[in-house]
Structure 1
Amino acid sequence: MITQNDKVFGLHTKNTSYCFRVLESGHLEHLHYGRKIRMEDGYLPLVEERTFVEGNAIAYDNQYPGLSFENMCLEVSTLGTGDVREPMVQLTYADGSTTSDFRYDSHEILEEMEDRETLPGSYGTCETLKMKLKDANHNVWLYLYYQVYEECDVITRSAKIVNEEKEAIQLNRFLSNQVDFDENRFELLTFHGSWTNEMNRDTVSLTHGIYVNDSKTGTSSNRSNPLMILKDEDASEDYGDCYGFNLIYSGNHFEAVEVTGYEKVRFLSGIQPNGFSYELNMGEAFESPEAIMTFSHEGLNEMSHHMHAFVQDHVVRGPWRTKERPILINSWESFYFDYNQSKLLKLAKQAKSAGVELFVIDDGWFGERNSDDCSLGDWDVNPKKFPGGLMDFTKKIKALDMEVGIWIEPEMVNEKSKLYEEHPDWIVGIPNQRQALGRNQYILDLTRSEVRDHIVAKICALLETSGVSYVKWDMNRIFTDQYSISLPANRQGEFMHRYVMGLYEVLGRITSRFPEVLLESCAASGNRFDLGMLCYSQQIWASDNTDAVCRARIQYGYSYGYPMSALACHVSSCPNHQTLRNTPFETRFQVAAFGVLGYECNIAELSSFELEQMKEQIRFYKENRKNLQFGTFYRSEDSTKGNYQWITVSKDQRKAYAFLMQKEIHAHHAACKLKVRGLNKEFIYELKNRPLKFSIKDFGSLVNTVSPVHIKKDSIAESIADRFVKMDSEKEHKVASGDVFMYGGVKLRPSFCGVGYNENTRFFTEYGSRIYVIQAI
């Protein structure tokens, strides 16, 4: 709900309020963002009174002698009016001046959002506040948009600038969001990493200075995800004030938090200003990406729930938005490039026998692609690998009652390719200079319409003639040169943003033509895991690292801002292909089950025991898939201490799935308490662990304490015994009310500690895990 009274504006969601007012000078003063408040009976307690300008701060105007912007909470900041903090907007006018002074002109309260022209954004029922501001000294107009999504407690902000001057102006910085806080009580949470090491949560206590989270890679990047959180220093997963911020954008981004000498805090987010400039001629406009913000006074979990609901209901689109996602097998780690139709069919038949629903042909199916240094850009099937063409192969897979998917990387080209031979000028690069290779490939220049048209035509033709129902859209390198021969020298600062707009145009044209195709975005794992891509793809490949221990941490990081239905997660072989670590097969599944499940291993190399495990895993996942993909996700504080605990609860609170994983064994620590969240305290629940079986080989020589004959480790006798004898896991069975489970926790059966083992002992090795199913009765 949006309220307005005497130029005081309130944006109200179910549990939060965002308030500001128009000053006599025409500037917008921020008053409050936090718990929901009523202003009908007065708002003056929110106003910081001013009488004199402090010290050498600058008074805005003699007409308002106490007005100094340096020590005020504002809705928009610029250069040249006395606010010396990081600005939201920075322009250069035709005369070279950089002072902007935007003042209130008018406003509209709209029942729906205005259509965006160049960028994707949120959708759905919401009220929109449109503030119209004019530069006091130039014929330049600034529009601030606030969209209120009441049910999920999210407010979005974006901006548009229109030049009505006769001469061109230059945008040097044009951010999407600014929130000023009147006191510093915060810790800053950011999520950093690198390839195969994404989404590490970093926590910093804010002191004076500027803290920047940004990307200069040309993508939202796995170095620094655009998700940022400000929380009270004592806030936890389940308690305290937390503010979450994100950006619907897939290019270079910039987030900054500045703490001033006045102890005020400014948050900013938007397009990366480093290297950015954009020229606007008379009558031209520029719109910023849409920024997301939410507040919770009930801790980080509740803040994440707001984000998850918003992404699921107002970002992800198409028929697959709410549909349960299929279980897939991906060919990559089975064969890499070394495959043919016969090998793939054999893998598909084995996968089908285990219950897999979708067969994905990864890299290597096109051109002469037998290594990563050739054929990118040549999206025609390799006739040696597929003699009858892709449709013929697809028909064979569909005859097994499986769907077919395919891997593509349309934004890239290899030097060894027909496309590069025909159009060497289509790549991103500076003429007559050495072009930098990344992953043996160049980037195609999507700022050019002929390049975009070519990609759309090739991919649409592929989808029309192949019969595939799933596409994995990859992008395996970052930008070095940020230059296009289609732009004049004085407009090269527009390149990166124009590339992102070009990408969105390509994706929009393809997805609107094939809305029934499930699209999974991928960019060298998490290099483009962002809300912009989720406007076109329903899920994103979370990391090229499929190691279960690493993935538990990576998925934990993503969970702060992204729902489980957006995370594509695979079970792979061991030793893991990225870390060489060995983890239990069940742990690999149980980590991947909290997301969109897939397998990426050669099933022919699984033991008969592992194959039976896989069948049972898939049966369990299918039975509980809706809740695991679309349930409400809670983290436990223990997850920051190396032992991961989390829980997903069905929307009706009648069923929950608690995950526990031990990263490192501590001797003589048998006890463990499972933390439970999200149940209905009035319901009666029954808890059971998902039953597992263990190989006697896992016990080593300890098996001789119960064996009637001596069994030598790694002997034929051990292998024979292991074929016929498996060890059952402990059985947990507890019944109690929801409040007992949530407020007291669950004290689990003791783990093995070297002093005995029986049916009541939890066999819990390093990297061991359990799923506990909690069902209302």
Structure 2
Amino acid sequence: MTPYDRWTLRTENTSYTVRLSPDGPWAELDAWGPHGAEDGPSALDWSHRTHFITPADAAPAEYLPHGQRPFTGADLIAGRPGRERGVRWEFTGAQEGPGTLRLTFTDDLIGLRTTLCYAVVPGTDVLHRWTELTCTGTEELRLERFDSGAVNVPVTSGARLTYLTGQWSQEFQHTRLALTRGTFTMGSTQGTPGHAYAPWLAVQDLAADDAPAYGLALEWAGNWHITAEAEPGGAVRIRAGRVPHEGAVLLAPGATLTTPRLACAFSADGLDGLSRVWHRYERHLTGERLHRPRKVLYNSWEATGFDVDAAGQLELAKSAADMGVELFVVDDGWFTGRADDTAGLGDWYPDPAAFPDGFDRFVEDVRALGMDFGLWIEPEAVSPGSRLLAEHPDWAYRIDGRPSRLVRNQLLLDLGREDVQDFVLATLDRLLTEHRIDYLKWDMNRPPTERGRPGPVPAERLDLDAAHVHGYLRVLDHLRTAHPHVTVEGCAGGGGRVDHTTLARTDVVWPSDNTAPLDRLAIQYGFLHAHAPHVMSSWVTDAPGIFDPRPRSLAFRFVTAMCGVLGIGADLRTWSPRQRTEAAGWIARYKDVRDVIHHGEARLLGSPDDATCGVQYDGADGRTVVAALNTGRLDGAPLVPGRPARLRPRGLDPDARYRDEVSGTTYGGAHLLHYGLPFAWSADHDAELVVLSRHPARRPA
């Protein structure tokens, strides 16, 4: 082995080492963990003795094609149409740069060059991986599988998989699975990441609850899969990539297909530490926009539904402004023909009947109350009776000779078409330049069903899923460039399109349409394992629980919503003066601590399954914010007679003193770490926001 056969990439706190296998022309993972983990024999090394499988099938390979790894899961299945499938390549070179690595393998027989790409994300503990596939021959290639990469995790007694599951209104449910042998797979073919699974996975050794955690997130807003395989010999290997809607992609001579990036993360501090790695990474994705305050918003949907008119909206806006709300968002129902969900989509012009004095006058009346103005839109959707569809019937996905199926009484535009993209761009430009709009909520409520494109090119020769994703990203990139002042919220019937490509181009995302207090707490608990507080839009509403209907106070709803980006969606016309006064107090408290919540280091304290749980945020200014919530009994009876509930913070300085800014109580850091913060829960007191100021330790006399 030469010195060039092994490469190490270093993040802030971790290292990732790849080597060329001595057993064949492929790359293997040698070590992944804290700095120095690469110094010593590889924990992923194997016996090199195989029975009924090939050496490549047993190896901790970074990426292998079906021709060389035929039995235990290939990452690439390619071939020439009408001929045999299979690739057998040779290693042809490496390019190493600061924080980057490219390893190239070629198969001259079928004409394929495969380059494995690695890049460290500066200032984080995240490594990007992706693959570039180039057709170097004179015949096109058929790619049936083309994953972004494979990751091998050393375990001694099986793997604990942590992932996020759900359905509409119950997204991001924290789910665990013990995998000792066999295959686990999840994904989506709905044209978005979907509500059932998030494209995110954490892997730990089953041997310990707090074992170091390895994380993966696929950066793709379309069809995808993540597959974990507990292989013979005990290795656990995870493959991830996009899934073409047509079942395969044809690669023309000279063309290159670049797979989505696979973000790989590691933390020695278990799942809690891994969540902070992802939070830091998403702050990196946000970039300079991170320093723009996420304003407290009011959204009118739950108050008025489709019944939108200037007078009713202004009544809500005045109440919201009096409470300290900074942004007023008009949801669905503002445009022509939108009396219900059966019409109007695609014809994006304000309804003159709803705004008799003109839409601009209405917008200025809202702004005169001291608030910014925002608007909901669903640019990919079209209603059957719309003028848009009548003028451009070929713009919607459809299959010739087949009826078009309605989902939510609407069809889906083929955003992969450049003319459709241009229409969406022109629509958004018109709205954002003709009217003083500061906030745009982009919704997407309908997966593609009859996914075809009328025209001379057969559907099997089109990569419709990728085309739609690229069109979606092109529009978002244009919004960021042409309208940088506009805050963009990503939504897909709730949390159906939450991935890093979306998060890199939006300011916040909407995790779920379910705003009930205990339901939402469970959703946010899972969400914060994978995503940062500054991207999590959360509303206070009067919604009853769908899955957990136990009542909770207005304070509980506010403290839960303050764990991310605070919004209000209740019908304020039904709130009493006392409720409005209480709300104004919570909004003022939130504004005081939102920089800590959005920029600080977050720790999840317990879970919604515990009687007392919370989220802790540690700011750079020495302040610690703890959102504490009681999910247990509300009859006033403590768990232990005479004792308050306790919630232990973590990561505090045991030698420092911490002062509660509201009560004035002073705690020693060691006391808080050992005993925790006390909470006397009752039927009237089920949530609390504690703000601790750090002070130096007293010097002994």
TM-score (norm 1): 0.85
State the Cα distance separating 1:611 from its structure 2 match.
0.8
CA contact (8 A) 2:7 2:17 kept: yes
Measured against aligned partners, the alpha-carbon deviations of 1:647-686 in whole angstroms (never above 9, x if no partner) come to 1221344333242222445855244111102323332102
CA contact (8 A) 1:77 1:83 kept: no
Select 2:592's aligned residue among 617, 623, 634: 623
Q: Secondary structure at the match of 1:338?
A: coil
Distance 1:575 1:46 in 2: 51
State the Cα distance separating 1:492 from its structure 2 match.
5.3
Select 1:141's aligned residue among 109, 113, 138: 113
Q: Which structure 2 residue ranges, 5 or more long, are not aligned? A: 696-701
Residue 316 of structure 1 pairs with residue 315 of structure 2: no
Aligned to 2:189: 216
CA contact (8 A) 2:245 2:465 kept: no
Which amino acid counterpart does residue 130 of structure 2 have in structure 1? S
Distance 1:741 1:487 in 2: 69
State the Cα distance separating 1:45 from its structure 2 match.
5.0
Select 1:266's aligned residue among 228, 237, 240: 237
State the Cα distance separating 1:583 from its structure 2 match.
2.5
Q: Secondary structure at the match of 2:171?
A: strand
State the Cα distance separating 1:49 from its structure 2 match.
6.1
Aligned to 1:601: 570
Residue 672 of structure 1 pairs with residue 645 of structure 2: yes
Q: Secondary structure at the match of 1:505?
A: helix
Select 1:763's aligned residue among 678, 682, 693: 682
Aligned to 1:725: none
State the Cα distance separating 1:140 from its structure 2 match.
1.3
Select 1:177's aligned residue among 136, 146, 149: 149
CA contact (8 A) 2:495 2:512 kept: yes
Which amino acid counterpart does residue 123 of structure 2 have in structure 1? E
State the Cα distance separating 1:620 from its structure 2 match.
0.5
Q: Secondary structure at the match of 1:226?
A: strand
Distance 2:44 2:179 in 1: 24
State the Cα distance separating 1:472 from its structure 2 match.
0.2
Q: Secondary structure at the match of 2:682?
A: coil
Map 1:102-141 to 2 at 5 A. Answer: 102-111=89-98, 127-135=99-107, 137-141=109-113
Distance 1:487 1:31 in 2: 49
Larger radius of gyration: 1
Aligned to 1:744: 675
Distance 1:510 1:619 in 2: 31
State the Cα distance separating 1:542 from its structure 2 match.
1.2
CA contact (8 A) 2:30 2:42 kept: no
Distance 1:207 1:162 in 2: 37
Which amino acid counterpart does residue 160 of structure 2 have in structure 1? E
State the Cα distance separating 1:739 from its structure 2 match.
2.8
Moved more, 382-391 or 167-176: 382-391
Q: Secondary structure at the match of 2:103?
A: strand
Aligned to 1:706: none
Q: Are residues 653 and 211 of structure 1, via their aligned partners in 2, closer, same or farther at CA, if it must alter by over 3 Å? A: farther
Distance 2:465 2:527 in 1: 25
Aligned to 2:378: 409
CA contact (8 A) 1:374 1:415 kept: yes
State the Cα distance separating 1:200 from its structure 2 match.
0.9
Distance 1:340 1:432 in 2: 41
CA contact (8 A) 2:53 2:71 kept: no
Aligned to 2:52: 56
Aligned to 1:718: none
State the Cα distance separating 1:37 from its structure 2 match.
1.4
- State percent identity of aligned pairs: 27
Aligned to 1:481: 450
Which amino acid counterpart does residue 33 of structure 2 have in structure 1? G
Aligned to 1:304: 275
CA contact (8 A) 1:411 1:444 kept: yes
Q: Secondary structure at the match of 2:172?
A: strand
Aligned to 1:226: 199
Q: Are residues 192 and 493 of structure 1, via their aligned partners in 2, closer, same or farther at CA, if it must alter by over 3 Å? A: farther
Distance 2:196 2:561 in 1: 23
Q: Are residues 244 and 550 of structure 1, via their aligned partners in 2, closer, same or farther at CA, if it must alter by over 3 Å? A: same
State the Cα distance separating 1:444 from its structure 2 match.
0.3
State the Cα distance separating 1:770 from its structure 2 match.
1.8
Q: Secondary structure at the match of 2:36?
A: coil
Distance 1:629 1:182 in 2: 34
CA contact (8 A) 1:412 1:443 kept: yes
Aligned to 1:32: 31
Q: Are residues 764 and 629 of structure 1, via their aligned partners in 2, closer, same or farther at CA, if it must alter by over 3 Å? A: farther
CA contact (8 A) 2:16 2:32 kept: yes
Aligned to 2:694: 776
Q: Secondary structure at the match of 1:198?
A: coil
Distance 1:371 1:488 in 2: 37
Q: Are residues 421 and 136 of structure 1, via their aligned partners in 2, closer, same or farther at CA, if it must alter by over 3 Å? A: closer
Q: Secondary structure at the match of 1:80?
A: coil
Map 1:19-418 to 2 at 5 A. Answer: 19-24=17-22, 25-37=24-36, 43-44=40-41, 48=45, 50=47, 53-58=49-54, 68-94=55-81, 96-111=83-98, 127-135=99-107, 137-149=109-121, 151-184=123-156, 185-236=158-209, 239-272=210-243, 275-313=246-284, 315-317=285-287, 320-418=289-387
Q: Are residues 47 and 270 of structure 1, via their aligned partners in 2, closer, same or farther at CA, if it must alter by over 3 Å? A: closer
Aligned to 2:388: 419
Distance 1:523 1:307 in 2: 22
Distance 2:46 2:411 in 1: 57
State the Cα distance separating 1:383 from its structure 2 match.
0.4
Measured against aligned partners, the alpha-carbon deviations of 1:213-262 in whole angstroms (never above 9, x if no partner) come to 111111101111101110122544xx321111101111111000001222
Distance 2:625 2:435 in 1: 40
Q: Secondary structure at the match of 2:625?
A: strand
Measured against aligned partners, the alpha-carbon deviations of 1:554-605 in whole angstroms (never above 9, x if no partner) come to 0110011100001000011254699876421111111000100011112221
Which amino acid counterpart does residue 537 of structure 2 have in structure 1? A
CA contact (8 A) 2:329 2:374 kept: yes
Distance 1:485 1:681 in 2: 67
CA contact (8 A) 1:191 1:227 kept: yes
Distance 1:251 1:664 in 2: 42
Which amino acid counterpart does residue 407 of structure 2 have in structure 1? G
Select 1:14's aligned residue among 1, 7, 12: 12
Distance 1:183 1:355 in 2: 52
Q: Secondary structure at the match of 2:688?
A: strand
Distance 2:649 2:147 in 1: 40
Map 1:569-588 to 2 at 5 A. Answer: 569-575=538-544, 582-588=551-557
Distance 2:694 2:414 in 1: 55
Q: Are residues 394 and 49 of structure 1, via their aligned partners in 2, closer, same or farther at CA, if it must alter by over 3 Å? A: closer
CA contact (8 A) 2:169 2:494 kept: yes
Select 1:516's aligned residue among 485, 497, 500: 485
Distance 1:578 1:463 in 2: 39
Q: Secondary structure at the match of 2:523?
A: helix
State the Cα distance separating 1:641 from its structure 2 match.
3.5
Which amino acid counterpart does residue 170 of structure 1 have in structure 2? R
Q: Are residues 604 and 276 of structure 1, via their aligned partners in 2, closer, same or farther at CA, if it must alter by over 3 Å? A: same
Distance 1:250 1:343 in 2: 36
RMSD: 2.2
CA contact (8 A) 1:251 1:500 kept: yes
Moved more, 504-513 or 72-81: 504-513
CA contact (8 A) 2:638 2:645 kept: no
Q: Are residues 47 and 614 of structure 1, via their aligned partners in 2, closer, same or farther at CA, if it must alter by over 3 Å? A: closer
Q: Which structure 1 residue ranges, 5 or more long, are not aligned? A: 59-67, 112-126, 691-731, 752-761
Moved more, 397-406 or 590-599: 397-406
State the Cα distance separating 1:774 from its structure 2 match.
1.7
State the Cα distance separating 1:366 from its structure 2 match.
0.6
Distance 1:273 1:257 in 2: 20
Distance 1:536 1:274 in 2: 24
Aligned length: 688
State the Cα distance separating 1:325 from its structure 2 match.
0.5
Q: Secondary structure at the match of 1:512?
A: helix
Residue 467 of structure 1 pairs with residue 436 of structure 2: yes
State the Cα distance separating 1:54 from its structure 2 match.
2.6
